Amino acid sequence: MISYVRGSVAVLTGSTAVVDVGGIGFELHCAPGTLADLRVGQQAMLAASLIVREDSLTLFGFADSDEREVFEILQTVTGVGPRLAQSLLAVHRPDDLRRAVATDDVPALMRVSGVGRKGAQRLVLELKDRLGAPHSAASTNLGGGTSSTGPVWQGQVHSALVGLGWNPREADAAVAAVAEDIDPDSDVATALRAALRSLDRG
């Protein structure tokens, strides 16, 4: 099992980071919030989870071991695979997921692309005694409600774009352009892809 990957960040894309470890590039699929903290050329250490399938080996990267643990617990739910687990963590931090499950907040879980009402109810039911209590008192509620400062995904997408190499002004322009075209309650991954397309066109 690969527990973590530590080395120099060689490449960043909208969904992956390649970390050079002793001359070998490990590609890790990461949520936007994790990618936002990485910089090409700088050292990084990411908690990791290796998903083994008959035809593939896929490595997922996380900001810390708590995020990885929640990622792995999410996959114990019926119908939840690694991609959907990562989508849940792209929209909600681990403690926000714990609160959503503990309070039966089905609408918050439904804000994740690919999670309908029945899927959200299943998450609540099957995770009730598995995720544990939140580690911190405050909730950032990344996936919930309407923000007074803009769409719910705005801050994460802006941070991710800056982390991928665009300057803050370019990130501001891309976020503003996307905000006019997509639903304010869109998930972070959808908004980030739209922002990257906007920058490519520019």
pLDDT greater than 90 at residue 161 = no
Nearest CA to 178 out of 199, 149, 148 is that of 199
What is the structure's pLDDT at 67? 93
Mean pLDDT within 27-36: 90
pLDDT average, residue stretch 92-108: 91
pTM (whole model) above 0.75: no
**pLDDT classification of 50: cutoffs 50, 70, 90:** very high
CB neighbour burial string for 60-90, b if at least 16 within 10 angstroms, e if fewer = bbbbeeebbbbbebbbebeebebebbbbbbb
CB atoms within 10 A of CB 122: 17
How far CA 59 is from CA of 19, 50, 72, 114, in Å, comes to: 11, 5, 13, 21
Portion of the chain with pLDDT greater than 70, in percent: 86
Lowest-confidence segment of 19-33, 73-87, 143-157 by average pLDDT: 143-157
Higher pLDDT, 177 or 80: 80
pLDDT, mean of residues 10-15? 91
> What pLDDT was estimated at residue 150?
54
Domains and CATH numbers, the chain: 4-62 (2.40.50.140), 65-127 (1.10.150.20), 154-201 (1.10.8)
**pLDDT beyond 90 at 179:** no
Best CA proximity match to 44, nearest among 61, 23, 24, 69: 61
Percent of the chain with pLDDT over 90: 48
Amino acid at 75: Q
Tell me the residue ranges of DSSP E strands in the chain: 4-12, 16-21, 24-29, 43-53, 56-62
CB-facing half-sphere around the CA of 98: CA atoms within 13 A: 19
pLDDT digits (tens, 9 = 90+) for 65-91: 999 999 999 999 999 999 999 999 988
pLDDT(142) > 70? no
145: how many CB neighbours lie within 10 A of its CB? 11
User: Is 50 exceeded by the pLDDT of residue 144?
Assistant: no
Helices (H) and strands (E) in the chain, counts: 9, 5
Q: Is the model's pLDDT at 149 over the cut of 80?
A: no
